[in-house]
Structure 1
Amino acid sequence: MSPTPQQRRAARHQLDPSAPAARRGPSGRRKKPITVEAIISTAFDIVEKEGYEALTMRRVAAALETGPSSLYAHVVNKEDLDELLIGRLCAEIELPAPDPATWRRQLIDVCTQLRDQYLRYPGISQAAFAAAPSNLDTLRVSEGMLAILLAGGVDPQTAAWTIDALTLYVNAHSLEVSLAARRSDEAWVRSRDEMLNRFAALPDTFPQTKRYAAELTAGTTHDRFAFTLGLMLDGLPGQPSLA
């Protein structure tokens, strides 16, 4: 019976870390050995240059000058590769020792770090959607967030669902920013001045939008990100304001 994906993932952590034999291409030059690290590095390079939509097992294999089947000895499937990529980004996040006095700011900082990691690679936060994390580096971040919330006096069930809500927002925010940055349609609204002009030209059936156009278009994406995180944390049961 073939091993399950879970068994293959577990076995990967026990593989001999010694480098495999070097490969040679058609020209006789040495090619990069096929390893998990090489696959991850190549995948990140593809996403950075072409966006997450371009990332497929076949595309990674082509970049490594091999066939897709060669990758499956190291990575179970595309979903497994996604998990490895998100785990690698999470591994770079610094988690503080939970402090009851500053737990809210600590949590916002962790979320901000996660957002910044995602924004390095256009659209990569899609890999974190609809996935139950099992990668230890990814679980390390959720463990840290849970510890911070518990230190702040949030009950365990609320803390658990708060992590879900925060990470979902970070994922969605990062994806939207990445998509906006990659739009090629010149007619797409990009400036605040253009938005203000459009709102000003609206018919009088939009009185509130016209009156509060400045407020509706105010702030950078970073301002709105911080505001939303604060709003979510302010909504926790029995918790005082951030002020």
Structure 2
Amino acid sequence: MSPTPQERRAARHQLGTGSSAPAARRGPSGGRKKPITVDAIISTAFGIVEEEGYEALTMRRLATALETGPSSLYAHVVNKEDLDELLLGRLCAEIDLPEPDPAIWRQQIVGICTQLRDQYLRYPGISQAAFAAAPSNLDTLRVSEGMLAILLAGGIAPQTAAWAIDSLSLYVNAYSLEVSLANKRLSRSDDDWVVSRDELLRRFAALPDTFPQTKRYAAELTAGTVHDRFDFTIGLMIDGLGVAEIPREA
């Protein structure tokens, strides 16, 4: 008897995200189409997200792209959440994790966060899949394991390091989602919601005098690129680890 999707998922958590056995095609054209595998599902899903955005990725849309029915997909993935886990795992598998070095641990953590950001930005909106998801995929856990090792090598207390990974990951996810949403708006005709720095400066200058600080520091408030702000925030979070206090339980 063939393994169930749930059994395949459990095996992936133990052995990685390798390909499952291909499912046979049904119908008169079944023999002329490429067999469906986990790899084919993942690659096709990435293609949809890259071209149409994460919101367009549904099991039905994916089945259409693979010229099959949704039931054929469920022979390999449990549900949409399982698909999301596979996609995130594939992205995380491409992250280069350096050997922890106490002398440059800060730069190493920044490098991992930057790699993860760039992976997410390749596929608009895909970082949504990481929200409220408990990591269980081995490739995803590999990244958190690497980050934990680097923070511990840098002398960060274990509890602080554990929460730092959660905070850094949450920021990278949120940042990537915001940039993807802004880029999506810019690509549409109704791009008035994404304004230039010059337009922001003009709007701030036109504010009433009840906003004295915003008017005075408009240049500072609008300075830098989005990636400049990313680097600043990641650096700020990392620099604060040495003085972070873990709240005591009541």
Same fold (TM over 0.5): yes
- Which amino acid letter does the alignment assign opposite residue 232 of structure 1? M
Structure 1 moving runs of 4+ over 3 Å = 3-8, 11-29
Bigger mean CA offset, 197-206 vs 16-25? 16-25
Aligned-residue offset at 1:235 = 1.1
Q: How many equivalent residue pairs?
A: 237
Whether the 8 Å CA contact 1:22–1:31 is kept in 2: the answer is: no
Residue 112 of structure 1 corresponds to 114
- Which amino acid letter does the alignment assign opposite residue 155 of structure 2? G
List runs of 5+ in structure 2 lacking aligned partners. Answer: 245-250
Whether the 8 Å CA contact 1:47–1:55 is kept in 2: the answer is: yes
Aligned-residue offset at 1:191 = 1.0
2:240 is equivalent to residue 235 of structure 1: yes
2:126 is equivalent to residue 121 of structure 1: no
Whether the 8 Å CA contact 1:57–1:78 is kept in 2: the answer is: yes
- Which amino acid letter does the alignment assign opposite residue 43 of structure 2? S
List runs of 5+ in structure 1 lacking aligned partners. Answer: none
Rounded to whole Å, the distance in 2 between the matches of 1:35 and 1:89 is: 18
Task: Check 1:77–1:21 CA distance in 2 against 1; reply closer, same or farther (3 A cut).
Answer: closer
Residue 205 of structure 2 corresponds to 200
**Higher fraction of helix:** 2
Whether the 8 Å CA contact 1:22–1:32 is kept in 2: the answer is: no
2:84 is equivalent to residue 78 of structure 1: no
Aligned-residue offset at 1:29 = 8.1
| Residue aligned with 2:55, SS | helix
Q: 156, 159, 178: which one pairs with 1:157?
A: 159
2:227 is equivalent to residue 222 of structure 1: yes
Q: For residues 124-162 of structure 1, what are the alpha-carbon distances to aligned partners after superposition, in whole Å with 9 as ceiling and x for unaligned?
A: 000000001111100000000000000000011100000
- Which amino acid letter does the alignment assign opposite residue 211 of structure 1? R
Task: Check 1:28–1:237 CA distance in 2 against 1; reply closer, same or farther (3 A cut).
Answer: closer
Rounded to whole Å, the distance in 2 between the matches of 1:40 and 1:117 is: 15
2:150 is equivalent to residue 148 of structure 1: yes
Quick one: higher RCO (CA 8 Å, sep 6+), 1 or 2? 2
Q: For residues 140-191 of structure 1, what are the alpha-carbon distances to aligned partners after superposition, in whole Å with 9 as ceiling and x for unaligned?
A: 0000000000000001110000000000000000000000000132322331
Rounded to whole Å, the distance in 1 between the matches of 2:194 and 2:242 is: 38
Length-normalised TM-score, structure 2 = 0.88
- Which amino acid letter does the alignment assign opposite residue 7 of structure 1? E
| Residue aligned with 2:51, SS | helix
Rounded to whole Å, the distance in 2 between the matches of 1:119 and 1:15 is: 22
- Which amino acid letter does the alignment assign opposite residue 120 of structure 2? Y
RMSD: 2.4
Rounded to whole Å, the distance in 2 between the matches of 1:14 and 1:206 is: 55
Length-normalised TM-score, structure 1 = 0.90
Residue 213 of structure 1 corresponds to 218
Residue 189 of structure 1 corresponds to 194
